Structure 1
């Protein structure tokens, strides 16, 4: 049976690799929608990383930070998508 700390550590490594791949797509992405999708993926992987790190350290503060990043990430994705579609943020 696998120990939970080992599983969390492996999860942290996998999520870290996913973050690096998303960062690569954000920098390299040929179009603006690709970059927006990569940024949204970075938000999600950051949330996953914080939740796993909070589980590893047995601390609740990381879960609260993950909720804040989730709200900001959603707002940022909506604003960037609106800008790409309409070329105007404020309406």
Structure 2
């Protein structure tokens, strides 16, 4: 290897570049969305990138003073994710209940329409039967008041 360049420096530079690119992509996803869950995951990725950046800084400077900050960031990310997941679950449950109510109303309307159609069919069948029996009576002479 070339004097003055060590493997740790190269690794830190590559890791820093990758973390920076990942953070930029996460910001793009936060801005573009489209859903709250996409933004949640991108926020988690961004916080992870921040934690990785702090870890890289710890490696470069050779200290451990930022470990409490890393723990606080991890806890914030965890509790934020749980809070948003609960919110989305409640929102999804309310949406599901609304859709079920709408479906029940549609089913009831369809059942009423089917019942009305069945009643119309039954009336048509009765009328056709009465017409047919009236035509049969007219041919045989029954029901016209004439006696054979």
**Range into which the TM-score falls when normalised by the shorter chain:** 0.7 to 0.9
Tell me what 1:22 maps to: 26
Quote how far apart the aligned CAs of 1:83 are: 1.1
Matches within 5 A, 1:1-91: 2-87=6-91
Q: Structure 1, residues 18-59: CA drift from partner, whole Å, max 9, x if none?
A: 001001101111111111111111121211111111111112
Aligned residue pairs total: 87
Further displaced range: 4-13 or 68-77: 4-13
Q: Does the 8 Å contact 1:36/1:77 carry over to 2? A: yes
Partners of 1:64 and 1:56 in 2: CA distance:
18
Higher relative CO (CA 8 A, sep ≥ 6), structure 1 or 2? 1
Superposition misfits of 4+ residues, deviation over 3 angstroms: none
Aligned CA-pair RMSD: 1.4
Task: Give the Å deviation of 1:62.
Answer: 2.2
Segments of structure 2 that go 5 or more residues without pairing to the other structure are 92-148
Deviation at 1:16, TM superposition (A): 0.9
Helix, strand or coil for the counterpart of 1:61? coil
